[in-house]
Structure formats: structure tokens, C-alpha cells
Structure 1
Amino acid sequence: MPTFFPLWVVITHFLNLFFLLLLARSGLEVLSAFPKLYWHDDCPPGREWARFSKKMYGADSRRMWSSLDEEESWSPLIALPGRKNLGLGRHWHFLTVQFWILTGIVYVVLVFVTGYWHYLIPTHWSIVPDSIRAVGTYLHFQIPAKIPGQPFEPAQKLAYFLVIFVLAPFQIATGAAMSPSVLARFPRYGKLFGGKQGARSLHFLGLCAFGVFTVVHVFMVIVHGVPDEFTKIVLADPGGNRTFALALGLAGLFAVLLFHVIISWFSLRYRRRTQRLLGWVVDPFEKAISRAFRSRQRWRRSDISPYHRVNGYPPTDDDYERMAATGFADYRLAVGGLVTRPVTLSLTQLRDLGTQRQIVKHNCIQGWTAVAEWGGVPLSALMDHVGVAPEARHVVFYAMDDKGLTEGEGRYGYFYGTIPLHLAGNPQTILALDMNGAPLPVAHGAPVRLRIETQLGFKMVKWITAIEFVVDTADIGMGMGGWREDQQFYANAAGI
């Protein structure tokens, strides 16, 4: 039989603690952007099964509201980094999950290579009644006997098996089921969890399960004797120096705490640097996901959501309101940049390029979802019409809403967004002119909005006034590839 506490178990145990705390805190930052949990992807206001906010908004509210109004500002003591920094929270989450999965893979490989699996994987159903009896023994304030020849009693062994081989993969699976690119390419996968909202709820419950396990695990260490347990798991030597093991273990925990204090401070103090540093690792993965998957969504009319949330408020200037009052008869879309034939198109001329309809699921970066039918012009048809130059690499969409007026919170400037050219040619990338069989409503981006069904909603620019084809986006705005990327430190790729 293998050694009870080999060094590789000690190392991966510490790394797991380190990464799980990062995942939990950054996950809470993501949750704070939409602190409500649903079991159905329609997300009807007031029908959530869990709400971590005192704010209440209804579908029949007399006052116009945006999903941004539902966002909470949670303390950096619990969320990473806290204070309404969804973009940075996502960066930390997706950076950490890659290393957590890598640690798990190394651990599982070593478990089977070394034969350590004998201590973790039950080989008979008797482990269930044996575990129940072990829990009963604990409840009688006694310590149950270990399984002969093994380091754990039955309840410990079953708990470790469930956490390592069931709960951890479950968290990875539900996490993948929240990716818009994955859901668009494999719609049936999301249905395994009841849709994105089901996956989101289950993912949160999985976090709670990890929390409960951690509390119980720490309590069991205390019950079994802190010096002895620290000696085993810190030094990988049951006979080692207890004082040294305790000091080293506490020093390790203090180092983890200090690290979290530092990264929370750094993330809030140097948000652009944090965006760039974490993006260096996270962005390639996001871009690969975005490039690899194309949407294959084909929802039914019966799937259309009764209520579709809105993120952001429409333009407030007089020119826009005059256009809206006349049904946008005077609207013109300017298309230029690296094209052979720059054009200015009315809505009628835009429709003449050919239209298509698609019933798809909208995935907001905050976490909410809704299904709607969108009708409009394939962006590829517009590209063929204007003749995009070979050197063009990106498409820029300029909007009519001045965020300094419609959003505030210290942010400013007209909204814009960019996408790489390969996304523009996807079959379900369209300039939407209609929604659910009617002209596009003002709240949802009239007269023209972008739809890219493998991306998060913030990439789907509303109230578009102009489109430009460019080589690079570094000299546009603050150079990060979009208004949310500039002002809220989001990642430019939005496939996760």
C-alpha cells in the first residue's frame, strides 16, 4: 500500500485551498452583478428562488429600470475585488479556474499512478451504512475507528470521494454550462442542467457544498487533534515535530490571507494594470472559445420569454427622440473604414440586403438570460455589399448613447464595441431590426442593434449609428476594444 501522507498530497492540498478561496471570492463578485438565482432561463422578475439583495423590480413597473440597477456593491472582505467590479472579478475567476483544474488533473493522475486511490475510492456499497454509523459515533462525542489498513474512517473516505470525484467535476460541468459559446454550439448540453439558470443555481449550491465541507473538515481536524493532524498534512510525516508543523501550517494560512489582502488592494487601486496582467493569461482562452464555436441555436416560438430584461438606458438627446417619434424614417447607418464602397443606408435600404430570423437565447454578462426572436440583416451580407478590404481585422460599432448621461457612476463617453472579423461572418451574427415579430423596441436598441449569439450581451451594441472596418482597435477609445472594456475593465473576448 502507498504512504498514507505523501508529499504530493501535502502540496496539492495546499494549492486546492489556495485556489478554492480565490474561486469563491471572485465567484461572489460575479454573483453580486445579478444577486438572484432562478431555475428557468426566462428569469421573470420576482420569481427567483434566492435573492441576495433588498432591491425589488417588477415586470410591470411604472418606472423604467435596467438590469444594471439590480447590481450590488459587495465588500472586498468577501468579494474579489468587490465594489461593483464584475470585469475584474471574472478575470480572477477564469484565471484561477485554469490552475485549479490543472492541480486537480495532477492530483488525480498521481492518485491512480501511486495506488493512493485505494484510500479514496470505495469498492463496496457497505461504505454507506458504515459512514452513517461513523457519523452516529461522532454525534455521541466519540471518534470512530479507522478502516483497517487505511488512514480514514468510513465517513471521511466517502466524503473525500464525493468531493474529489463528484463535486469538483460537477462544478466544472456547471461552470461550462454558463458559457454563451458552449450553450450556443451545444444547446442540448445546457438542458442537462435545466438551462443556464439551472446551471448557475447548481453552481452556487456546489460552492455552498464546498463551504460546508471546509467547515466540517476543519472541525474534524480540531476533533482529531490539531498538532497531530497538522504534522501529517503539513510535514507529510506523522512522526514529525508537532511544534514546527503547527507553526509552518499557521504561517501558510497567514500567507494565504496576506495574499488576498494584497490582491484585493492592488485590484481596486490599479484596475487597468490588473485587467492587463490577468488578461494576459485569460484572454487567449476566451478568444479560442469564441473562435472555435458557432451558434447552432434553434429555439421554438413557445420558448420565447414573456419578459426580456434590458441592460442600460437608451439615448436621451433630442435628435434620437425625434427619430424615434417618426419611426426612424430619417435614420441613416454610416458604413466605412477599410471598405471598397462606403455607404450610408436607410432602414429600408438595409432591409433590402436580405433578412433572416432566429430564435436564440440572450446571455447577459451579469448572469440573466432570456429567449427572443430577432430579425435582421446578416452582417456578412452588409460586408459583401460594401466590399471589406483584405487587411481589415476588426469591426467597430458606434452607438448613439452617451453613457455619461445614461449611466454615470464616474464613467463617460459614447458607447462603442468591437469584434474580430471572424465573428462578423458567423451565420447568426446579424444587425437586428425586429424583435418578436415587431420593429425593434427603443429599450432593446432601436433602430439597429448587433446580435452575436456566441457572445455575452455587452458585445451586442445597441442604438448603432455607424460601423467601421479597421486593422486594429488600439487607437479607438482607450484602446481596450470597447466601452465596457475601457470603463469597466471587461475582457474583450466574451465567449465565457
Structure 2
Amino acid sequence: MSTLAPKKPAQKNKWLTFSATAVGAISALGILVLLARWLMDEPAIQGFVAEYPGNGTLPRDTPKGLPAWLNWQHFFNAFFIVLIIRTGWQVRTTTRPSGQWTRSNSGLLRTKRPPKKISLDLWLHLTLDTLWVLNGAIYIVLLFATGHWMRILPTSLDVFPNALSALLQYAALDWPLENGWIHYNALQLLSYFATVFIAAPLAIISGLRMSGAWPQSAARINKVYPIELARRIHVPVMAYFVLFSVVHVTLVLVTGALRNLNHMFAARDDDGWLGFGLFALALLAIIGSWFLARPLFLRPIASLMGKVSR
């Protein structure tokens, strides 16, 4: 008879790990806030914040206000990003896909190589990726055509000390003075720049390398840029988008929710409830799509683009 003690259930271990992680994260945040508040009481830091209040210098002709096209772009970007993260995680963790999809090898899609069978989750992930890239391309064109690039591209070196000042103020829970309708603070500017011009291209380039559209016969390129490197880039970039989204939504809600939501969803600068109502509708659309992204509803759509099998 064995004298070994019975192993703890895996589910209980997961909850213990999650609880310990949550307690550790909350404790770390508490220490960070206390440290930031202590620093903000120091004369040298107070002088630094007085000299660099958090807003970098922008060009004189920087557009003011947020146009309606930016509101629509913001919604579609959030919509696609949430579902891309969901399907990407499913592709990474699902061992037995609920369905398979094979591209139709006919018409404009005809190629010499036979179509490759992929999971239904991967088909949805790639389809959402394509729509997200298309939405991003439209955004970039409009951004530079209307001059709104000045709001998210650094044009002065004082953006960096101002960003550090804004970070200290956020950490101390003493929100920096800002008016998103006129300009973003320096930390917002740098974070939006990093998201649009660094994280998004990395997600696209690494995702393309991992997809079937990548030329497998290009031996020289594949040696310089192996698929293992693409995987090591793709997952951390996904984690960045999750972290950015959580921080972004949190700050929107705690630094003047109604005005911020009007900026982002209603193209107006006031404290009315229109932006909140449009935000609620957008949230319902995202949540509804999250639950509708199931094989029962996906199979009829996927079958329009290829063959679906169980």
C-alpha cells in the first residue's frame, strides 16, 4: 500500500496561484503609490514637475478636437483587437479544434499549392487580422492627411521629461492636468506612438511570418527571420495590447469618464451622456460578438470563403 500523500487538485492549485499573484500585484501597486507620493513631496521633484507639468510642446498648427472618423476608427480598432486577442489565445491553447476550414482553390484564389486545412479558430483569427490591418491602413492615411499625426508623434525633446513627470503624477494618484480635446499629455502621446507605430507593426510582421501566406521557399529570408523569432515577438506584443487596453480603459473612466467618452465616441467636448450611450452600445457589440464567435455561428460564414469540416 502506497504511503504517498494524495496530490492537490490542479484547479485548487490554479486558484492559489492566481490569489497569490493578485495579492502580490496589489501590494506592489500600493508600494508604488506610496513611493510616488513620497517623491512628490520632495522639493527637487516638485521643482521638476513645475518645470515639466506633463504636456510636451506641439507644433502651432496641431489640429484641435477629435473628428468623427477617429471615433469610428477607435471603435473598430477596439472591436477587432478584443476578438483578435480572444481567437489568438484559442489558437495557442486549444488542442482539439471544433472545426476545420479549407480555402477554396478557385477563381482569384487559385494557386499552384494545394489549400492547407486550418482550424476554424485560426480562420477567424486571420480574418480578423486582415480587417484590423485594413482598418489600420485607413487610419494611417487619414491621420497624415488631416494633420492629426502631430498629436501622437513626438516633435520635441521635452516630451520625455514631461512624460516622466506625468508618470510620477499618475503613480501618486495626482492626475496631471490635461485636455484631450486640445492635446494629449506627453505620456499619452508616447504610449499612443508606441502602440500605433511599434506594437502594431510588430504584431503584423510577426503574425505574417507565422501564417501560411509567408513564402516558405525564401530560404535566405527565413534564415534571417525564423518562425521561432516571430513567435517570441507575437505573444509579448499580445500581452502589451492587453496591458495597454486595461490601463487605457481604467484611466478613461477615472479621469473624467463622461468628457473622455464624449471625446472618444461622440466627437464633442462636453459632459453630456451621448458618449456614454455610444460607448455602452459599442461595449454590447463587442461582448455580443465575443459570445457569438462560436462554431454554430462561424461555420455558415466560413463556408462562404471555403470548405468547413468537423
Matched, 1:206 2:237: yes
Matched, 1:231 2:258: no
Structure (1/2) with the larger helix percentage: 2
Alignment of 1:349-388 (within 5 A): none
Alignment of 1:57-76 (within 5 A): 71=95
Rounded Cα–Cα distance in structure 2 between residues aligned with 1:181 and 1:261:
29
For the residue of structure 2 that corresponds to 1:182, the secondary structure is coil
Cα deviation, residue 98, structure 1:
1.2
State the aligned residue count: 231
Name the residue aligned to 1:424: none
Alignment of 1:146-157 (within 5 A): 146=178, 150-157=182-189
Matched, 1:218 2:245: no
Rounded Cα–Cα distance in structure 1 between residues aligned with 2:241 and 2:90:
17
Alignment of 1:277-316 (within 5 A): 277=304, 280=305
Select which of 63, 68, 73 maps to 1:12: 73
Rounded Cα–Cα distance in structure 2 between residues aligned with 1:87 and 1:254:
27
CA distances 1:334-368 after superposition (whole Å, capped 9, x unpaired)? xxxxxxxxxxxxxxxxxxxxxxxxxxxxxxxxxxx
Cα deviation, residue 4, structure 1:
2.1
Question: Is the Cα contact below 8 Å between 1:32 and 1:73 reproduced in 2?
Answer: no
Aligned-partner residue type, residue 200 of structure 1? R
Cα deviation, residue 273, structure 1:
2.5
CA distances 1:22-61 after superposition (whole Å, capped 9, x unpaired)? 211111121014xxxxxxxxxxxxxxxxxxxxxxxxxxxx
Rounded Cα–Cα distance in structure 1 between residues aligned with 2:131 and 2:292:
20
Name the residue aligned to 1:261: 291
Rounded Cα–Cα distance in structure 2 between residues aligned with 1:254 and 1:272:
23
Rounded Cα–Cα distance in structure 2 between residues aligned with 1:213 and 1:97:
18
Q: Highest CA radius of gyration, 1 or 2?
A: 1
Rounded Cα–Cα distance in structure 1 between residues aligned with 2:180 and 2:69:
23
Matched, 1:90 2:122: yes
Rounded Cα–Cα distance in structure 1 between residues aligned with 2:297 and 2:166:
50
Cα deviation, residue 158, structure 1:
0.3
Rounded Cα–Cα distance in structure 1 between residues aligned with 2:84 and 2:181:
35
Aligned-partner residue type, residue 128 of structure 2? T
Name the residue aligned to 1:124: 156
Alignment of 1:157-176 (within 5 A): 157-176=189-208
- In structure 2, relative to structure 1, the CA distance for the partners of 1:158 and 1:73 (3 Å cut) is same
Which of structures 1 and 2 has the larger relative contact order (alpha carbons within 8 angstroms, sep 6+)?
2
Rounded Cα–Cα distance in structure 1 between residues aligned with 2:138 and 2:124:
22
Cα deviation, residue 142, structure 1:
1.2
Aligned-partner residue type, residue 222 of structure 1? L
Cα deviation, residue 190, structure 1:
3.9
Matched, 1:276 2:308: no
Matched, 1:26 2:87: yes
For the residue of structure 2 that corresponds to 1:184, the secondary structure is coil
Question: Is the Cα contact below 8 Å between 1:134 and 1:155 reproduced in 2?
Answer: yes
Aligned-partner residue type, residue 275 of structure 1? A
Question: Is the Cα contact below 8 Å between 1:183 and 1:189 reproduced in 2?
Answer: no
Question: Is the Cα contact below 8 Å between 2:65 and 2:181 reproduced in 1?
Answer: no
- In structure 2, relative to structure 1, the CA distance for the partners of 1:139 and 1:169 (3 Å cut) is same
CA distances 1:89-118 after superposition (whole Å, capped 9, x unpaired)? 011111111111111011011110000011
Cα deviation, residue 120, structure 1:
0.8
- In structure 2, relative to structure 1, the CA distance for the partners of 1:183 and 1:201 (3 Å cut) is farther
- In structure 2, relative to structure 1, the CA distance for the partners of 1:200 and 1:104 (3 Å cut) is same
For the residue of structure 2 that corresponds to 1:177, the secondary structure is helix
Structure 1 residue ranges without an equivalent (≥5):
34-70, 75-85, 284-479, 488-496
- In structure 2, relative to structure 1, the CA distance for the partners of 1:199 and 1:141 (3 Å cut) is same
**CA-based RMSD:** 2.6
Q: Which runs of 4+ in 1 moved over 6 A?
A: none
Structure (1/2) with the larger strand percentage: 1
Question: Is the Cα contact below 8 Å between 2:77 and 2:135 reproduced in 1?
Answer: yes
Rounded Cα–Cα distance in structure 2 between residues aligned with 1:204 and 1:138:
28
